[in-house]
Structure 1
């Protein structure tokens, strides 16, 4: 006769956008012989009518149950979608031949909502046979902030240390959350655990606010950095905090309040033991970071980066040159009309001459009433902080914001040049959102994409159309696929998705004839086991045409005529009308030229076969398995000590 299970653990919790909770459960060895299995019940307590309100986001949760999570290889049991008012039941068998840590499980529950800051009520229950007492099952619980939040500097600095911490900031993309960058944070922490000098900081200030424009999102990230490093506790920083506090949105105010509360327990002044800073951004997050760097440089009058050394600047599938010149024209047109708000216009390289001047506040207003209040607060803030310039030069002028940030001499460009290195990861294929040329700033000169996808090339799959990529991406979002057990077991032997790494020296920009001039370019091609070769060489010759990196079947191939290249001298002195008449491709070339003037870049091509845009960062740890080795490459390639 089967035993009636007894409730051992019951916990109710609410998850918001990008929320995650983890339970670490362990069955004491002395009781293992009395039980065959444990039962887990996870209930999505959101009312059932929420299933028909997709406009506010998918009201679903996902569950992963991992046995012995500290032992490799790990094969989780996954439930990708639990809808409103549904219950998921999972059973965990007990190993009677118990040894240390053999009967240990990690239960992970995460929210799949991506659009609005709503909350889902969740109930987690664990049942054991009646012969056992609840006390035999230990449970360690961590909420979203405990998992994603950064450590405090005083908890990391060793006794007697005053300096030496390396701050690594990670910024998510549009409609994202800090959960998107969690896997990268965990891998960086794991690779640098022994040095005791690395702090990873997931900024979450742009939750549900990424459509408000790169300017607003960048200012929020900048304020997060200034608050956390203690700059806002300095005399000028206090004025800055006062000026911004009255104009922030509700979500930003809550984040700033939490950050300030944490900082009050930190006795150390700016820079709180931090000597280096590295910046990592995914998708739109890369552009948000570029703006934030320029904003910090101007608002602190250069004091921040004179105190804290910029180390690594890294982008992952970021549309550095904007969006539209590689996609069907209808996408660029839709973005220019504001389909995804001001952010879409920024990405479409829309001229700002016809737009009203935007406020320098870190958040936009959501209604006319709030706009009036914001203006009132802004005026009072300026009065309370005399002499403090709240405007950033990047916000002035009519030209597209992406072009303004790339201009040589701009605040963002100046800070980028101070970094020890700059690296862009770009998906070669299967990225519907951010194509290869914009993510790598007009391609990698010596990489021949046509050859890569030829029968003799290194691609394991034939080239797919943009429509196929779009369909795969949408289906992956709506119906997450569970990787088979064999892929988890064989991930250690899987080839690396990084197929080419090339360093392009400063001044390697597109020539009027459509070629790149590479000076002492160090090229490293990293290959896997499928016929790819590893090589290192130095060249001092003209690289291949950008046309070679664009498949011939694309309707928006890169032009090789002289009209596609402009000198900065003439461009900087051109009128707003001249800039507004240029095509998106011409503007993208100007942006690319700005980023290649006076600074070198390491460009990394990544080939992921499925839904590459989120796989490259492993947006969901157990579902985006193909990106594990790409994140591993990032964690091992850079020194974050």
Structure 2
């Protein structure tokens, strides 16, 4: 796509473009819309280059050609792009001795980004004479669906030639022998065929959160999942294909049910289409944030439309992995500050915001058609655990939740981990981590005993009556503050669990929604050492345990006295959240993986952008290896 609205090229640019010492190899301009990515795979074969064309390095220049007047407009934008360059031999999980990685996190209107493509060991393909790089350009738009951002990309042998190219009309360049560029758009990247077309295929559906931006925000997950799965030996390879629904972009405010029905239609259509070409036998779902809820409802709608879809005996697919990362299964009410809760109730995120606040509003038309059903309607998040959905979830081979223990004020630990955890064990990790720094702690072993406190001694120096009262006061505050942890502490069958109200319990630090929002804007990216040296990374997974139904404590809010229901205004909310959490866990086990990544862990946990959110690499690596890697494939 070439623009017709460029100024006439300057005389200097014309002369430079016609000079024999400066070679323009590639000149491209495209419009990139919300959720879109363009991937450029650049290859240079030195053996095929003309003898006169001596190239040891190339210069790539990317420019956002939108008007600079659009820079401050964020409400309908931002009108910017993210761009990165990866040499052929770079891998996040292998020590990299090459040059610094090149990327720009936010290329604003009328700004340009330059990168050097060196023909050296970083980019050499094996022992051949071919050198290769992958360049990704991703839209940063979040709200405007139909406004493409014009982006110019030029490649030449000097900085002067690519700068001059930016001042001339975009036009095709005469091909140069030994130099090729393959362009993959969003649909090409996201519709890659299976590695082994003749073998059974494992379909993996990914669903994104609040902006439904599959194309860009789930790209890193797609790339790592495919690379990990395709590396497995052919005899046990799961033959994975990754797909996601792109049609919900710009519709996040319409409610979880609306989004889920569209995802369900897409998945059913995709299954039917793929069965015309391949043998489809397995399916998995991966959702981030709101996507975890959307995929849950989508599964239910799929079941309603095709009761045998998840039954191999009935010709359906075998459900393999149900995975959610930082998903608010219990909603966000009680975790958000009051002003945020009120804003959601008044439509800050439309119908979706009310769903997350556990509101059960009904339409007037629904009241007229079926008054009894309308009045008895439950919150959307509660309705999912009372139907046939539970039997489908039980059929999945793996149910895994990834939750941010710290630094996530958007979807805190309580709601993303389904309420019930081994809080005492987490307390120990919190204390040890504070003393010894970031380390990995495996708390998944069955013999990990809980701490028990039988008595609490009043310190000797508080023998005076006045001092004793001073000591008792903070103890009373601690007792009240820790009630919530006591109620959601898991138990061990056959072992009496004691929670001493006076024990000096140290819960994990809670993140605030404001600090999380601020970190999205101002948090610094990792260092080059972080990108190149896996040993320098301090993010870690500190809790990885499979929780069984037998570990659930007795329900606390199920049979509350009427007086307490009246006295405590939040009783209904807590009762609903408890019911949701128990509905998911009373009949099936869940693997809960808690991670400590910073500084803004909600976007980092999914690695929204490869080099900006790379603190979450460890999470994605754990996810793909544990569910689609060699060990998982061999045990399947």
Question: What TM-score do you get using the length of structure 2 for normalisation?
Answer: 0.72
Residue 585 of structure 1 is matched in structure 2 by 574
Change over 3 Å in CA distance of 1:418–1:218 after alignment to 2: same
**Cα pair 1:509 1:592 within 8 Å, conserved:** no
Q: In the alignment, which residue of structure 2 is the partner of 1:348? A: 357
Q: Distance in 2 between matches of 1:313 and 1:396?
A: 32
What is the CA-CA distance between 1:349 and the residue it aligns to? 0.5
CA RMSD of superposed structures (Å): 3.6
Query: Equivalent residue of 1:399, what SS?
Result: coil
SS at match of 2:71: helix
- The equivalent position to 2:264 in structure 1, one of 201, 222, 230, is 222
> Which residue is 1:454 aligned to?
431
Which residue in 1 is equivalent to 2:183?
Answer: 141
Match in the other structure for 1:291: 297
- Cα 1:626/1:503, change in 2 over 3 Å: same
Distance 1:510 1:213, change over 3 A: farther
Q: Secondary structure at the residue paired with 2:79? A: coil
Residues 237-248 of structure 1: matches in 2 within 5 Å?
A: none
Q: 1:46 is matched with which residue? A: 66
Match runs of 1:263-342 below 5 Å: 263=273, 267=276, 273-305=279-311, 306=314, 307-342=316-351
TM-score by length of 1: 0.71
5 Å matches for 1:167-566? 167-178=203-214, 179-193=216-230, 194=234, 195=237, 197-230=239-272, 263=273, 267=276, 273-305=279-311, 306=314, 307-353=316-362, 357=366, 397-407=376-386, 410-454=387-431, 457=434, 460=438, 466-467=511-512, 470-471=514-515, 473-476=517-520, 478=521, 481-491=524-534, 494=537, 497-512=540-555, 562=556, 564-566=557-559
Aligned length: 506
Give 1:431 deviation, angstroms: 0.7
Is 1:637 the equivalent of 2:614? no
- Is the 1:67–1:106 contact (alpha carbons within 8 Å) kept by the matching residues of 2? yes
Query: How far is 1:356 from its partner?
Result: 5.1
Q: Offset of 1:633 from its aligned partner?
A: 0.7
Instruction: State whether residues 506 and 598 of structure 1, in contact with CA within 8 Å, keep that contact through their aligned partners in structure 2.
Output: yes
Paired residues of 1:69 and 1:106 also in contact (CA < 8 A): no
Q: Partners in 2 of 1:67 and 1:327 — Cα distance? A: 42
CA separation of 1:581 and 1:434: change in aligned 2, threshold 3 A: closer
Give the Cα–Cα distance (whole angstroms) in 1 for the partners of residues 543 and 533 of structure 2.
23
CA contact (8 A) 2:287 2:295 kept: yes
Asked if 1 retains the 8 angstrom alpha-carbon contact of 2:207 and 2:287, the reply is yes
Equivalent residue for 2:169?
A: none
User: Which of structures 1 and 2 has the bigger CA Rg?
Assistant: 2
Question: Tell me, what secondary structure is at the counterpart of 1:85?
Answer: coil
Distance 1:612 1:581, change over 3 A: closer
Distance 1:320 1:463, change over 3 A: closer
1:599 matched residue in structure 2: 588
Tell me the distance in 2 between the aligned counterparts of 1:435 and 1:190. Answer: 30
Q: Is the 8 Å Cα contact of residues 173 and 281 (structure 1) preserved in structure 2?
A: yes
Q: Please give the per-residue CA displacement for 1:300-333, whole angstroms capped at 9, x wherever unaligned.
A: 2345544112111111100011102223233222
C-alpha distance in structure 2 between counterparts of 1:126 and 1:60, whole Å: 21
**Unmatched 5+ stretches in structure 1:** 231-262, 360-390, 513-561, 572-576
**C-alpha separation in 1, matches of 2:131 and 2:309:** 53
Deviation at 1:54, TM superposition (A): 1.9
C-alpha change, 1:503 and 1:463, in structure 2 (3 Å) is closer
Q: 1:82 to 1:428 in 2, by over 3 A?
A: same
